[in-house]
Chains A and B, each alone.
Chain A
Amino acid sequence: MDDVDPTPTRVYPCPTVSEIEGAMKKVLEGSHGVAEAVRLAKVKVISAYPITPQTHIVERLSDFCADGSLPARFLRVESEHSALAALIGAASAGVRTFTATSSQGLALMHELLHWASGARLPIVMAEVNRALAPGWNIWTDQTDSLAQRDTGWMQLYCETGQEVLDTTLQAFWLAEAVNLPVMVILDAFFLSHTYEPVDIPAQEDADRFLPAYQPRFMLDTANPCAFGQLAPPNIYMEMRYSIQQAMDMVLNRFGEMEEQFVDVFGRCYGAVEPVQCEDAEIILVTSGTITSTCRQLLQELRAKGERAGLLKVKLFRPFPTEAIRQSLGKAQKVAVVDRNCSFGAGGIFAQEIRAALCNLSDGPQVYSYVAGLGGRDVTTDLLDEIYRQTKKQDCCPVESIWMGLREVSYAT
């Protein structure tokens, strides 16, 4: 009866160090990994506006366009708002498109994020997580992308340089499968500016995974249609329901996409990745590069006999509720680490995970921790403190617990 099974049927491990060393690798910045994937995807129109720390992505793409290795039109527009507007035009005319931005730039795009999904355009964006001003802060923080969670874009959070490259390629597959836009999200500096050994796929392999784009609709003088016109109450709601249906479909198509990716490249990541969750009493939930730090802590905790686990959340929109229930449902306590905050409500991943678990009859307590805002380090010590606090407490507070706050004296 239930033909929609959102849980991954196959579980693949992350590539190990020896696997990485065995393949043809180049040492690349995360930003350059994004650019390589865009080149491999044979994008036709790129439009972007510079903002730190996104700039290395668009600089490398400019090089590719200049030296002919990527035969695309690159529109150097006068704002992020126009960057996305231009792609809405280009994608409506039926070509594969890409942009990249960060923080203030993403906030400026907000109106058109809704437009891109409402128009059902498979635009792909690299979003480098950076804190929002004031005060000016260029370091990593997820509040910029999470503040856009209701705009109808898929959101994929990355942990490593390889994952950034792979996810960018996968994003085009997903976007075009359901006609919705995708954000590939990477931490400022920890991913965007950090060099790691990365396997750059061969073009023929990329083509096998991602065939040429076949638009379902486009502006065409031989078949003149009006796109995005007046939609009164008698039709608007159905248009919005179709977006929700497309998002629901992603949970299925994600597994299909990963199977195809594995067939070509032999690796994948999962919408979520549970690590030693089966027998865990306390599970830490992370996203982005904090996950790598947490993997280290997990080894240490397990070595001490602690029944700890880790759940990495990669896919945030659509939210993989079933997979999260399966991974966390049997634990006693869950500690969610949020490098973001919805002021007045707290950590955003924690809210979503509480919502996913709230109807389980015997679900775990969900502790919410806010840490590492504006690029402050989240160390194994800090994560260990989160683990120990979670273990010690009997009563789970409703509000988020802010970790590592300093004593600050304000001018009066």
Chain B
Amino acid sequence: MRLDVPDRDYMYSGHVGCPGCGAAIAMKFVLRALGDKTMMVLPACCWSIIAGPYPQSTLQIPVIHSAFETGGAVASGVRAALDAKGDKETCVVTWAGDGGTFDIGFQALSGAVERNEDFIYVCYDNEAYMNTGIQRSSSTPYGAWTTTTPGQDWKKMRKKNIVEVLVAHRIPYAATASIAYPEDLTRKVAKARSIKGSRFLHIFASCPTGWRIPSETAVKIARMAVQTNIFPLYEVENGSKYTINFMPKGYLVKEYFRLQGRFKHLTERDLDQIQAMVEEDWQLLLRKAGVRLQG
């Protein structure tokens, strides 16, 4: 099967990611869709390491590494400088993990999009602080083991719904995407690039190391997250117009959970409870999208 995605890569061969790294796959496709007139702001995340040590860089675009909580602010400054120089062509992109987006970078992100800064903010979400060794974040899903939620202290709070938080800022464009659906992903990146103002992409990027899954299942697991409604694919324009891009076929969440070591402690009862939560979230999204409820 041939994918209908741009085929020019902006990464050199070789990077320092783990085998099967979903974040590396996400970068590959996003850069293909963005092209070389792109500047990237890279706050602390796995990609601070993956891009390689001085003097090497796996990325073929200009990159400014920055402090953990500054993704929104540094991009605002780069954009302002390009505006001052009359450069309207170059696209400024922040590339942050879930910790740098949901947690420590949230204030700067909210500030930047409230000002409707003209940039794309990409959060690649591997659902924990993976670079530091699998500590829980506010993106870690209900039920997950991490090194800071071990044993019976597995995470008992829901994952923060970051897209809805961004939508509440009424930004021009917010969307979810997955490494398992590269055509949908690259279409959304290209669409985001064509829009002015603040744009947010939330990309589901599996982490074999942190999720305790075999590296060859990274894409399969990401696909199952979409098919079970755990990570629905949708986009929201101007804070109000919802479009659901993939209508799942009703797989049960336990099929997704059973393949991952981070969930192996969960009982049937826990999984039933999680199934109900996922169902509740999905119905809420359908309502927002104006899709008629079934039953």
Contacts and interface: CB of A to CB of B under 8 A. Distances in A.
B3 interface: no
Contact of A226 (B65, B76, B82): B65
B51 A224 contact: no
A44 interface: yes
B39 A82 contact: no
Interface in A185-227: 219-221, 223-227
A111 B41 CA distance: 17
A179 interface: no
B289 interface: no
A88 interface: yes
Interface stretch (B52-60, B154-162, B194-202, B266-274): B52-60
Interface stretch (B66-74, B140-148, B242-250): B66-74
A89 B84 contact: no
Contact of A79 (B48, B60, B81, B107): B107
B60 A224 contact: yes
Contact of B64 (A45, A89, A230, A231): A89
Interface string A231-272: 110010000000000000000000000000000000000000
B44 to A, nearest CB: 10
Interface residues of A, number: 42
Interface centre among A76, A93, A221, A231 (most CB of B within 10 A): A93
A219 B114 contact: no
A47 B77 contact: yes
Nearest to A71: B84
Given A78-B114, A226-B51, A93 B66 contact: no
Contact of B53 (A75, A92, A93, A231): A231
A45 B84 contact: yes
B77 A225 contact: no
B73 A77 contact: yes
B61 interface: yes
Contact of A73 (B41, B64, B75, B84): B84
A321 B85 CA distance: 41
B111 A82 contact: yes
A230 B58 CA distance: 12
B27 to A, nearest CB: 14
23 contacts: A75-B115, A81-B73, A82-B72, A85-B73, A86-B73, A86-B76, A86-B80, A88-B77, A89-B66, A91-B77, A91-B81, A93-B78, A97-B77, A219-B64, A221-B37, A221-B39, A221-B62, A224-B62, A227-B62, A229-B48, A229-B65, A231-B53, A231-B54
Interface of B: 36-39, 41, 48-49, 51-54, 57, 59-67, 69-70, 72-85, 90, 107-108, 110-111, 114-115
Given A93-B82, A111-B67, 10 more contacts: A75-B80, A82-B70, A82-B108, A85-B70, A89-B73, A89-B76, A91-B77, A219-B62, A226-B65, A227-B62
